[in-house]
Amino acid sequence: MTSTVRFTYHDYLLVPDERRAEIIDGDLIREPSPGYGHQLVVKNLLRLLDRHVGLLKPGVVLQGPLDVILSDEDIVLPDIIYISRERYSIIRKNIHGAPDLVVEVLSPRDAARDRELKMKLYAKYGVKEYWLADPQTETVEVYALRRGLPWEGAARNKTVYYELHGLFGDGNTVTSRVLPAFEAKVEEMFAKPF
């Protein structure tokens, strides 16, 4: 017999601070602490994004863990988010709404969740761009949000999905539709300290 308990933001607030967790579609998912390689890529990406945003000041780049509350039953902890100046009102103690850009650095234990479940979730709530950085393959996948499928006719805006903007690997320069003029070499994103 399966239980149909659905967790909400109220339940999420009861989880001890030292325990990382997300709620996706009412399911509580515990998050183990990330490893060294994961955090090194997060640091590199944050530095590159922050340098770009700091120069032009179109918005703010923030590093997780930071609660992003998409709904009462969808609370996630992305690795990095970008919020444009136009959407700055979603920033309170936590983030209440969809950031413009979400970056997830893949770990073997949760790659499938980031690639499938979270990708659908971020599209549903309107995250304009979604990056998946894979330390194992040293690649970055950049996905841009699209609305409507060509065959849907008048109902086109009901369907949302991500379209691959680019798969960037060794020797490539990562670009973004959400951050115009952003360019960074893949090697910089996966650089080791020594």
Architecture, CATH, for domain 34-189: Alpha-Beta Complex (3.90)
Helix/strand/coil for 39: helix
Helix/strand/coil for 97: coil
* Residue type for position 45: L
Domain ranges for the chain, please list them. Answer: 34-189
Alpha-carbon span 65 to 19, nearest angstrom: 11
Res 18 pLDDT > 80: no
Alpha-carbon span 71 to 96, nearest angstrom: 8
- Name the band, by pLDDT with cuts 50, 70 and 90, for residue 57: confident
Mean pLDDT score, 165-180: 96
Where is mean pLDDT largest: 30-34, 53-57, 70-74, 153-157? Answer: 70-74
pTM of the predicted model as reported, rounded to 2 decimal places: 0.89
Res 153 pLDDT > 90: no
| Beta strand extents in the chain (DSSP E only) | 20-24, 27-31, 59-63, 68-71, 74-76, 80-84, 95-96, 101-105, 129-134, 139-147, 160-168, 173-175, 183-185
In the DSSP assignment, the letter for residue 32 is P
